Structure 1
Amino acid sequence: MTLDRRGLLGAALVAGAGLIAPAPLANPVLRAASPPPPSGPGNAAQPLALRRALAALERHSGRIAERDRIGLADFAQHSGEMRFMLVDVAAGRIEKSYFVSHGRGSDPRNSGFVQRFSNRHGSHASSRGSFLTGDAYVGKHGRSRRLHGLEEDNDNAFARAIVVHGADYVDSDMARRHGRVGRSLGCFAFERSQIGEILERLGPGRLLFVAD
């Protein structure tokens, strides 16, 4: 679905090239999330989220070898929305949207909204910012992909074993019945029926960006 997203993405590319990264906060351990805005129609990424993701792609160009496609998790949206998007940068369109979990440490009351982020071991929280996709492997969750944090807000991701994997607690039927999907321990968990497609399309050497 393009949603006039070709024009939106084109504008975002221009705007993103000149966007300056915000200065890091004083305390890098536990960060409050921005207040969640109401979800827009069509589960579309907000323009700001796209601009920030594309700016991150440019900012980390020396680390990101594959620049044709990026993953964007818009954690300003509720977990009952398809808030993870694969963005085809070359074609100028959003390829597909998916349900994705956030960490239970980011949402202690299980509201469906991210309340805070953390880079701390044992926090069970999601981290924000730019991740580099790494190798695929088969672990306790089945087929998975490792992630490397590129910024102060997420540079413990590899050591924390924050990865992309499938999970039974992320399911479209669950989202429909309960209005939200389940929470992870900080990983990006997807529907098991779709994890193979996601791992293939978001291969190694690409950007996964978390907006808030």
Structure 2
Amino acid sequence: MKKTICFILFLLIPLISLSCENKKEKPIKVKNSKPIYSYEVKLKSEITEIKRFLGKSPKYNSDVVFFLDMKIESGRNRFFVYDLKNNKLLNKGLVGHGSGSETGIRGELKFSNIESSNCSSLGKYAIGYSYSGSFGKAYKLYGLDKTNSNAFNRNIVLHKYVDIPFEEQPYPICNSLGCPMVNEKFFGVLEKLIDSSKKKIILVMYY
């Protein structure tokens, strides 16, 4: 009897093991999964586009460009200073967006080119002359696309603000009235690049 039981177990154990292995090998299907956003892939795409634009517009600085990825939450670094000449990221920091761009859903923004909307506007900007305003030194921005053509008339400028933190935060930072608003220390980094440039630097805001 014992020999019979041992013989049966000898036959069944390999089959059970094989069954378990087959179950482990079956892939788990995840339904309704959203693709993970990659800012690196998007940045690479924007770099390609701006190089094409600068190739046709020699009056702008073709060495350094500022990229603002508004798909990234405001508490995370989304202002990128990029060296086109050497193909490398020089610096990055936080930047506030317009209060009118809030939708009530975290991570989702809306954009407008309309005056008094307090919204950020997507598109390419030429960074113009500096002046002293309510927040100290600031730079006028000229919208180069249909989506931000009213930037100058809307007084959309690049400026610093004391309440913008320097380090990344786990929560959203404060909003502006539509201007790209940065930390004072980070503004100093941008200021050196802008003031030393013989040609206007391009700032690109995308989503």
Task: Please tell me the root mean square deviation across aligned C-alpha atoms, in Å.
Answer: 2.2
1:104/1:46 Cα in 2 relative to 1: closer, same or farther (>3 Å)?
same
The residue number in structure 2 matching 1:46 is 40
The residue number in structure 2 matching 1:205 is 200
Distance apart, 1:50 and its partner CA: 3.0
Contact preservation (8 Å) 1:118, 1:153: yes
Contact preservation (8 Å) 1:105, 1:126: yes
User: Which runs of 4 or more aligned residues in structure 1 lie more than 4 Å from their structure 2 counterparts after TM superposition?
Assistant: 36-40
Aligned pairs for 1:1-212 (under 5 A) are 45-59=39-53, 61-62=56-57, 64-109=59-104, 111=106, 113-172=107-166, 175-176=168-169, 179-203=171-195, 205-212=200-207
CA distance in structure 2 between the partners assigned to 1:133 and 1:39 by the alignment: 28
Distance apart, 1:87 and its partner CA: 0.3
Distance apart, 1:56 and its partner CA: 3.1
Q: Which runs of 5+ in 2 are unaligned?
A: 1-33
The residue number in structure 2 matching 1:9 is none
1:207/1:72 Cα in 2 relative to 1: closer, same or farther (>3 Å)?
same
CA distance in structure 2 between the partners assigned to 1:37 and 1:117 by the alignment: 23
TM-score, reference length from structure 2: 0.74
1:122/1:63 Cα in 2 relative to 1: closer, same or farther (>3 Å)?
farther
CA deviations 1:18-60 (Å, max 9, x no partner) are xxxxxxxxxxxxxxxxxx97565xxxx4322332243134225
CA distance in structure 1 between the partners assigned to 2:130 and 2:110 by the alignment: 28
CA distance in structure 2 between the partners assigned to 1:180 and 1:37 by the alignment: 23
1:210/1:149 Cα in 2 relative to 1: closer, same or farther (>3 Å)?
same
CA deviations 1:137-162 (Å, max 9, x no partner) are 11111111111000100000011011
Q: Which runs of 5+ in 1 are unaligned?
A: 1-35
1:37/1:129 Cα in 2 relative to 1: closer, same or farther (>3 Å)?
farther
The residue number in structure 1 matching 2:10 is none
Three-state SS of the structure 1 residue aligned to 2:174 is coil
Three-state SS of the structure 1 residue aligned to 2:200 is coil
Contact preservation (8 Å) 1:64, 1:207: no
Three-state SS of the structure 1 residue aligned to 2:148 is coil
Q: How many residues align?
A: 170
CA distance in structure 2 between the partners assigned to 1:38 and 1:141 by the alignment: 37
Contact preservation (8 Å) 1:37, 1:76: no
CA distance in structure 1 between the partners assigned to 2:131 and 2:188 by the alignment: 12
CA distance in structure 2 between the partners assigned to 1:127 and 1:37 by the alignment: 25
CA distance in structure 2 between the partners assigned to 1:181 and 1:37 by the alignment: 26
CA distance in structure 1 between the partners assigned to 2:181 and 2:202 by the alignment: 17
